[in-house]
Amino acid sequence: MSLLVNHRSAFPQVSTGNCGLPVEQPDQSGFLVSERILNGTDAIPGAWPWQVEIRVNGKHACGGALIGSQHVLTSAHCLLEYSAKPIEIRLGSYSSNVSDETALEETTDTICIHPAF
């Protein structure tokens, strides 16, 4: 599922100018690829700049990845029941439980679900 987010000319200062490169290097000690997260560690702010939070009615719905300046990719099943509602995208946020002044919030213009889903 691809979400098209509104484009703004002002972005929070969380980037080094190298698109897609972490501001901080993530801790990958003990890093293991798995189907599930077990005994995970907290992410370092700025270490995963392409990760976004997808929210509906102010509540967390899913995660996604920024794949272009205006496109977010997520799983189709995450938003099937919300396709008619305004979807919020939070970029640069570290925690959904705390107000984050470095986070940028956008709303979707278009939701495209793959026709074969």
- The per-residue DSSP string of 52-76 comes to EEEEETTEEEEEEEE-SSSEEE--H
**Mean per-residue pLDDT for 40-50?**
78
Q: By the 8 A CB rule, do 53 and 37 touch?
A: no
Residue 98: the pLDDT is: 67
**Helix, strand, coil shares of the chain as percentages rounded to 5?**
5, 30, 65
Query: What is d(CA 3, CA 107) in angstroms, rounded to the nearest whole number?
Result: 9
> Hey, what CATH topology would domain 1-8+46-117 get?
Thrombin, subunit H (2.40.10)
**Mean per-residue pLDDT for 71-95?**
84
Report residue 54's pLDDT band, with 50, 70 and 90 as the boundaries.
very high
Give SS3 for 23: coil
Residue ranges covered by each domain of the chain = 1-8+46-117
